[in-house]
Structure 1
């Protein structure tokens, strides 16, 4: 289970997260929706401690962290080992081969045996449709292929939760569809995923739970079907705007 309690985050005088209380269920897909500037990416980055809120707590499996404390590098690392982030821009190391990119996390952050990590990395590449690409470099791959590698890299860490921050926003529609189909496959396999997206079709098909944020506040927290059938005027306005 992943639980955020009374989480607050501000930049200067701008409240980005306003007393956030959310439970993200295990083996389910939670989709975070909302207008630009609502705090979606900040919320995601707070889970991975890429951004640290001023106060509140996060509980992830057997770890509980108070955000208002001065966290040690070991405490930060322990929490980050429980999750893996897939970004908008895939962020692969350009000087490393595809396989080297994938095994970097398991061997360096989790001290896994290199030979074992290599075998697992090759298996993951096959699962994301890139079998035989292990000795290529990121510059030799399309954007969609690079994003598939970044997903394989996240899976290699065997995280409790995979965090997706607009993973298809930099892709054209055809490549976007490929990545969304891969994410749908992961959801059907029961992976625990938290996804920030603007793709309403994906949310309808894949989300078990929807969080709707606006101005750093949770406006809706519930099942997917209840969100898309909600009579709240703000939610209806948002959905109508997203249709175009």
Structure 2
């Protein structure tokens, strides 16, 4: 007799659960509220108000490796010269027929935006240093109307620059005779904080975006592949680091 009543009560509880709870779960799944309330997602939304993430390698904060090259004025510049400054890094070459003009134009806009910030700088490394001598780099700087002293266009040992790009920043650069210009590189910008750590905002999945797209004009907004520009968010994130 007791077993009979037990079965009745269990059946009743299951029925109530099915009537009340399951529809609520279905509603949450269909509306996406389950995903939005996930811990990683709530901490990792692409909010302009959130602190920037550190880029990790083997569980440790990734820092810019040591470097030392000469700039457009034949002045020796090292990573130590950038300590205490927030800065943006890119890899380019002056004869690039494709993305470099767009990247440089975007960075000119970024520099203009932060022209009054003494603790902001830029670092551009040539991937064709044999061609891009200091004189060539100086002419390139003048061509784009760069007047500030906080932007170094650097040249030097090619092996060292490629090591810095591919291993130091994981920003691809390589000599490839079959592509326009004979060299291939990504159109990405890296953001570095005042202590020399790589930083970025978090994507909608809670992961650092790591780099910012630099080869899409900010004013254009989107490229032919449907990718949106990221210069706008780069400016926001630079400001965050300047205020840290």
TM-score for both structures, normalised by structure 2: 0.25
Mark the structure with the bigger radius of gyration. Answer: 2
Q: Which of the two has greater strand per residue? A: 1
TM-score for both structures, normalised by structure 1: 0.25
